[in-house]
Amino acid sequence: MDLATSTSTAFLFSLLLLPFSAVAQADDGRVDVGSSLTATNEASPWLSPSGDFAFGFHRHADSFLVSIWFDKVPAKPIVWYAFDDGRPVLAPARSKIELTAENGLVLRNPRGQQLWRSDIATDEAAYGVMNDTGNFVVRSHNSDVLWRSFDHPTDTLLPTQTLEINGKLFSRLNENNFSQGRFLLSLQNDGNLVLNMVNLPTKFVYEDGPFYTSNTNDPANESNSGERLIFDESGNLYVLRKNGLRWYVETGATTPPTPISDFYHRVTLDFDGVFSHYYYSKGSTGVRNWSTAWSQPGNICSRMGERGSGACGYNSICSLNDRGRPTCSCPPGFSLLDPDDTYGSCKPDVELSCREDGRTPMEDLYGITELSKTDWPGVINDYELLRPYDEQECAAACVRDCMCAAAILKDDSCWKKKLPLTNGRIDGGFSGKAFIKITKGGRTPPPSLNLPNVDEEKNKGTLITISTLLGTSMFVNFALVGAFCLGFYSIYKKNLPKVQQIGLETNLQVFTSKELAEATNGFKQELGRGAFGIVYKGTIGMSTVAVKKIDRAVRDANWDKEFKTEINVIGQTHHKNLVRLLGFCQEKDQRLLVYEFLSNGTLADYLFRNPKPSWNQRTQIAKSIASGLLYLHEECSTQIIHCDIKPQNILLDGNYNARISDFGFVGNPTDPTHPLWRT
């Protein structure tokens, strides 16, 4: 290799490395404009001078989160992260955050699209500093502060940090989910520090029955009202009143160990709603885990608000563990609505119904489980008060009432309660008990006869007529019985909903046309058009979906048979590079397919956007498509030949992974009458 070739190779190699390198950080924590970090597992963060705090990318599942964390503490707990409207800003791998003169910190995905920015003041940024306080600051050429992470807190405050009027801390959804959770701590406009519950996903704040309040609002004397929440350098947290007096949040609590400089400190609104002061020893000896100096409220299970579920979900029971933290459990006859959310709501295993046949005594269908010192005190669930009643009378009254889900007995008063039950708790000071209605024989549904909906007198007349006919002769009896059964079967089959006649061998969800019309808001937002119909964007529960409405014009005499067959086949395909079919609708003349929604559109759009995808990205997409086709052609239990591979039929998920769509419903592509042959 000659010198020119060697030089060219080195030059090209340096060009390849250029986009992924970052300007070196100074020892004083300073970061100049133009410095950047790239989201990779090996990326080094920007450190504070002592190395106590780091700013950079934190790996979160398949994405990365721009955040600040304790760098010398095991598990590196996060104290701040980039968020937008209460949601974490998750970036795909190879995203880049850069300090710019115009906008301060700017986060862009690998395609250069802006995901988040720090929104600095009007002046031009010159540099940033990762301070030993855990505060990242963007400054101008005159060293004026243009943006601070301390001014945009998430769930944590650090020493020297303050919360101004209308400032907020919000809890995470759970330990590993950084989305806004069910609890909000705010310094209200009247100067009162309040911990409230939040309804999700609406984010409506339940202002009645707060979990905690500082009572630092004074309408009679405004100078006595709070104006700022301060976590000072000595580890004290207090509301500073307008008259200069302090109200300490940790009054009567354990004092953090001294000297304060030997420990890391933070106050955090945890996902379970408890606001706590934690400390951790910096040295090699002493406290080597996060210990609690104090926490508020003292008992989060004791909320008495009329709206909202309470510290735990609806129909759940809250109790305190030995650390004073809430644990949630479902009462007998109930189970978690979301098995992965132990702090969430509980659903009844069997629906309580008032549609029984009326012939079976309620006592034969239902029983009672007794829970001592358990209460759902919210009067919003009460619909009847009986007294004077004893235990037997209260339990029996609930069993015999088809609307009663539980009853609370205290002294001689019996409160009947309906679902959903709110603010459930185990209270050692509560002298009463709860009676929970359950089905007898375990958690099995009550018997149901599914009688025809006909007039009782007409039934009697029909039975008399049949009895008379059946009494004529043995031969006639057999003939009439056979004819009766055949006729009944024909009528029954004819009146069955079509969706029940399909007999699909998949676990796909079956939707009604009404449900999908509501999910798509009347089929308003169109995502695209294909040979078979139009695809619309919709929402089912918390998930965004794509609903394909099959055009009636493409159907022929055999189309419905093909539809059933291919639903069976496609419903059993599972591969990371295929668009997943979630469900379908086959109702009267309606044929609809429900797919997962992929946020980054089609490969056709991606290829011709600016900036163009890199060769590495193109290679990865090609490999993903090949992997999906290999599965369809050779690895799937029923081989599927995709007859229409094109960029428009390749979709990209949130991380720009390729997913093949429209790999079914193609029938016989050699048939000139097939839709693929139509123009």
Structure-block tokens of residue 167: 């400032």
417, 371 contact by CB (below 8 A):
no
Nearest by Cα to 509 from 532, 543, 534: 543
User: Which position has the higher pLDDT, 67 or 473?
Assistant: 67
Percent of the chain with pLDDT over 90: 45
Within a 10 A sphere around the Cβ of 185, how many other Cβ atoms?
26
| Chain segment 240-284, per-residue pLDDT in tens | 999 999 999 886 455 666 678 889 999 999 999 999 999 999 886
Tell me, what's the pLDDT at 569? 73
Answer yes or no: is pLDDT of 503 > 50.
no
Dist. CA 666–CA 566, nearest whole Å: 9
Tell me, what's the pLDDT at 9? 41
Q: Which amino acid is at 96?
A: K
* Binding site members: 549
Answer yes or no: is pLDDT of 343 > 70.
yes
Structure-block tokens of residue 490: 């024909």
Burial string for 152-183 (b: 16+ CB within 10 Å, else e) reads ebbbbbbbebbbeeebbbbbbbbeeebebbbb
Can you give the pTM of this predicted structure? 0.62
User: Which position has the higher pLDDT, 107 or 224?
Assistant: 107
Tell me, what's the pLDDT at 68? 98
Across the range 219-239, mean pLDDT stands at: 92
| pLDDT-wise least confident of 132-146, 279-293, 364-378 | 279-293
Q: Cα 359 from chain centroid?
A: 44
User: Which position has the higher pLDDT, 253 or 544?
Assistant: 544
Q: Which of 84-93, 211-220, 267-276 has the highest mean pLDDT?
A: 267-276
The residues carrying an active-site annotation are 644
- What is the pLDDT of the chain when averaged over all its residues? 80
Across the range 535-545, mean pLDDT stands at: 86
Tell me, what's the pLDDT at 575? 85
Q: Residue ranges of the alpha helices (H) in 74-178?
A: none
| Chain segment 354-405, per-residue pLDDT in tens | 766 556 788 888 899 999 999 998 778 899 999 999 999 999 999 999 889 9
Q: Cα(first)–Cα(last) distance of the chain, in Å?
A: 57
358, 406 contact by CB (below 8 A):
no
* Helix, strand counts (H, E) of the chain: 9, 47
* Binding site members for ATP: 549
Residue 244 burial by CB count (10 A; 0-12/13-18/19+): exposed, middle or buried?
exposed
| Chain segment 309-340, per-residue pLDDT in tens | 899 999 999 999 988 899 999 999 999 998 88
Nearest by Cα to 579 from 665, 638, 657, 647: 657
User: Which position has the higher pLDDT, 528 or 46?
Assistant: 46
Tell me, what's the pLDDT at 49? 95
Q: In what order do the strands lie in the sheet with 433-439?
A: 366-372, 433-439, 406-410, 413-417, 382-386
Q: Is residue 297 reached through a cis peptide bond, with omega within 30 degrees of 0 on the bond before it?
A: yes
The owner of tokens 């990205």 is: 617
User: Which position has the higher pLDDT, 91 or 61?
Assistant: 91
Beta strands in 608-672 (DSSP E): 650-652, 658-660
Dist. CA 34–CA 31, nearest whole Å: 9
Tell me, what's the pLDDT at 359? 65
Tell me, what's the pLDDT at 319? 94
195, 299 contact by CB (below 8 A):
no
| Chain segment 597-652, per-residue pLDDT in tens | 888 888 888 887 767 788 878 888 999 899 988 888 887 767 787 777 888 889 99
The owner of tokens 């519950």 is: 197
Nearest by Cα to 93 from 109, 78, 114: 109
131, 29 contact by CB (below 8 A):
yes
Nearest by Cα to 269 from 162, 135, 172: 172
272, 247 contact by CB (below 8 A):
no
Q: Which amino acid is at 86?
A: G
539, 582 contact by CB (below 8 A):
no
Tell me, what's the pLDDT at 506? 53
Answer yes or no: is pLDDT of 489 > 50.
no
Sequence-distant (≥ 6) Cβ neighbours of residue 481 within 8 angstroms: 470
Tell me, what's the pLDDT at 484? 44
479: alpha, beta or left? (left if phi > 0; alpha if psi -120 to 50)? alpha
| Chain segment 513-531, per-residue pLDDT in tens | 999 999 999 988 888 876 5
Tell me, what's the pLDDT at 558? 57
Answer yes or no: is pLDDT of 52 > 50.
yes
User: Which position has the higher pLDDT, 438 or 574?
Assistant: 438
